[in-house]
C-alpha cells in the first residue's frame, strides 16, 4: 500500500519525537501493509516551519536508517502546507514541496473555516500545474457542516484526502459520519493515515480500507488505492463525478 500523509520525521513537528519513535512507526507501517510512505511535516501553520531542503535532508537520513535496519519501507518527500497569506511567497522562494516531486500538493485548511480566497488559490495552482489535495476535509468545521462547499472545491480542481482514523472512529462518531458521507458523495479521492505516533495515532490503513469495503464495496477500495499509486507516479488520478444531496445537514455547532 501507499500512504500519502504522515508525520514520521523525528523532532520537526507534532509527529514522531525521536529517531527511535520514527523507526517504531516505520515497523508499524510495514506491519499494516504500507511500502511507500510520504513524509509530510507541517509547514507554515503558525507553529511549525519545515522548508523543502530541510525536509528532504531529514527524509534522506531516515531512509538510510530504514535501509540499514532492513525495514522494507521507502519514504518520499512532501509537506502538509497551511493555506495562508505566506503561501505564494513560499512557493516563489522554493520552500514548498509537492508529493514525491509530482504535480500533487498536500494542503491544509484552518480548522474552523474555509478561506474566502481558496477558490482563487486553487485556480492559480491549477494554472501553475499544481493539483491541490485538501487534507482531512472532514475535520474542517465549515466543510463538515456543508458538503456542497467541498463539492465546489472539487469541481474547481481540488482533490480530497480522508484520514483513516476519521473512518475508524478515533475522532468520534460525528467526524466518522462526515467522512463516510464525503466518501459516499465522491468528494474523497485518497485515503491516508496522517499518522503522528506509534500509540495514539498510528496508521490504520488496513482497518480503514476494510471499513470502506463494507460500506461501499471493493470498487471504492480499488479507486482510492489506484489514485494513491497514480499520485506517487505523477500520473493523472481518476475523479468520479461528485454526487449532490438534497437538503442541508449540520454536524458541528458553530
Give residue-wise pLDDT tens across range 18-27. 999 999 999 9
CA 123, CA 12: separation in Å to the nearest integer? 31
Structural domain total, the chain: 1
The CATH number linked to 83 is: 3.20.20.140
Q: Is 90 part of a structural domain of the chain?
A: yes
Please tell me the least confidently modeled range out of 79-83, 148-152, 185-189, 197-201.
197-201
Q: Is 147 part of a structural domain of the chain?
A: yes
Q: Is 106 part of a structural domain of the chain?
A: yes
Q: Is 248 part of a structural domain of the chain?
A: no
CA 98, CA 17: separation in Å to the nearest integer? 24
> Residue 173 belongs to what domain range?
2-232
Q: Is 251 part of a structural domain of the chain?
A: no
Burial 174-199 (b: 16+ CB within 10 A, else e): ebbebbbbbbebbbbbbbbbbbbbbe
State the pLDDT confidence band at 52, using cuts at 50, 70 and 90. Answer: very high
Q: Is 100 part of a structural domain of the chain?
A: yes
Cell of 195: 499518522
Q: Is 244 part of a structural domain of the chain?
A: no
Q: Is 126 part of a structural domain of the chain?
A: yes
Helix or strand (DSSP H, E) at 82: strand 80-82
Return the pLDDT at 246.
Answer: 58
pTM: 0.95
Amino acid at each position: 500500500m501507499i500512504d500519502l500523509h504522515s508525520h514520521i520525521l523525528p523532532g520537526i513537528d507534532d509527529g514522531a519525537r525521536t529517531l527511535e519513535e520514527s523507526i517504531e512507526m516505520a515497523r508499524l507501517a510495514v506491519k499494516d501493509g504500507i511500502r511507500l510512505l510520504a513524509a509530510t511535516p507541517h509547514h507554515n501553520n503558525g507553529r511549525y516551519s519545515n522548508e523543502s531542503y530541510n525536509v528532504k535532508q531529514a527524509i534522506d537520513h531516515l531512509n538510510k536508517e530504514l535501509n540499514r535496519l532492513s525495514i522494507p519501507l521507502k519514504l518520499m518527500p512532501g509537506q502538509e502546507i497551511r493555506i495562508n497569506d505566506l503561501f505564494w511567497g513560499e512557493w516563489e522562494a522554493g520552500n514548498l514541496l509537492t508529493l514525491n516531486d509530482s504535480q500533487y500538493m498536500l494542503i491544509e485548511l484552518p480548522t474552523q473555516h474555509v478561506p474566502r480566497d481558496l477558490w482563487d488559490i486553487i485556480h492559480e495552482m491549477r494554472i501553475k500545474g499544481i493539483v491541490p489535495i485538501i487534507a482531512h476535509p472532514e475535520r474542517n468545521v465549515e466543510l463538515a457542516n456543508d458538503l456542497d462547499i467541498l463539492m465546489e472545491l472539487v469541481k474547481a480542481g481540488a482533490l480530497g484526502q480522508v484520514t483513516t482514523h476519521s473512518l475508524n472512529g478515533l475522532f468520534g462518531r460525528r467526524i466518522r459520519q462526515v467522512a463516510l458521507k464525503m466518501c459516499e458523495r465522491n468528494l474523497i479521492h485518497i485515503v491516508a493515515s496522517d499518522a503522528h505516533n506509534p500509540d495514539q495515532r498510528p496508521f490504520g490503513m488496513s482497518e480503514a480500507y476494510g471499513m470502506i469495503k463494507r460500506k461501499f464495496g471493493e470498487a471504492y477500495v480499488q479507486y482510492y488505492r489506484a489514485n494513491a499509486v497514480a499520485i506517487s507516479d505523477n500520473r493523472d488520478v481518476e475523479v468520479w463525478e461528485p454526487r449532490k444531496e438534497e437538503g442541508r445537514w449540520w454536524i458541528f455547532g458553530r
